Amino acid sequence: MILQINVNSEKPIYTQIYESILLGIATGSLAPGDSLPSVRQLGGELGVNLHTVNKAYRLLAQDGFVVINKKKGAFIALEFPRDPQSTAGLREALTVLLAKAHLQGVSQKETLDLIQSIFNDFHRED
């Protein structure tokens, strides 16, 4: 569980931890049921406070990607929730991203190829 954190990033540290674990799950490097380091251990490895790690874990648990056992620690969830609102939220976020890229000259084909390439990195569990 080595995880890269950039203290000078514009992104909050807890967001970086959240996204790293999310990507780990999506790409398969973290599997359902896998245990996560304790908040103190990961905080120590990253050189950040345990509350910063705890916030990331709490958000991951809120979204159903992680299950927290108060005494055993945090684990990757066995099943991920099919949030019915995820498509609406996805559309809103994608629109802003694609609009900016579009204006900066990224073509539709280039974008679709990029999406294809990103999906290829995702682990499929079917």
Partner DNA sequence: TATCTGTTATACTTTATATATAACAACAAA
Partner DNA sequence: TTTGTTGTTATATATAAAGTATAACAGATA
* Residue 124 Cβ vs DNA, minimum distance, rounded to whole Å: 29
Positive or negative, the CA dihedral 22, 27, 31, 35 is negative
The string of DSSP letters for 8-29 reads TSSS-HHHHHHHHHHHHHHHTS
Q: How many angstroms separate the CA atoms of 63 and 11, rounded?
A: 19
Q: Which residue stretch of 35-43, 46-54, 66-74, 86-94 sits at the interface with a copy of itself (rule: CB under 8 A)?
A: 86-94
* Residue 23 Cβ vs a copy of itself, minimum distance, rounded to whole Å: 5
CA nearest 62: which of 44, 74, 52?
74
* Residue 75 Cβ vs a copy of itself, minimum distance, rounded to whole Å: 15
Interface positions, 24-63, toward a copy of itself (CB under 8 A)? 25-27, 63
CA nearest 1: which of 29, 32, 33, 40?
29
- By a kind-dependent CB cut-off of 5 to 8 A, residue 23 interacts, out of a copy of itself, DNA, none, with a copy of itself
Count the alpha carbons within 13 Å of 115 in the hemisphere toward its beta carbon.
10
- By a kind-dependent CB cut-off of 5 to 8 A, residue 93 interacts, out of a copy of itself, DNA, none, with a copy of itself
Q: How far is C-alpha 107 from the chain's CA centre?
A: 27
Interface mask toward DNA for 23-62; x: CB under 7 A: -------------xxxxxx-----xxxxxx-x--xx--x-
Q: Which residues here bind DNA, judged by CB under 7 A?
A: 12-15, 36-41, 47-52, 54, 57-58, 61, 68-74
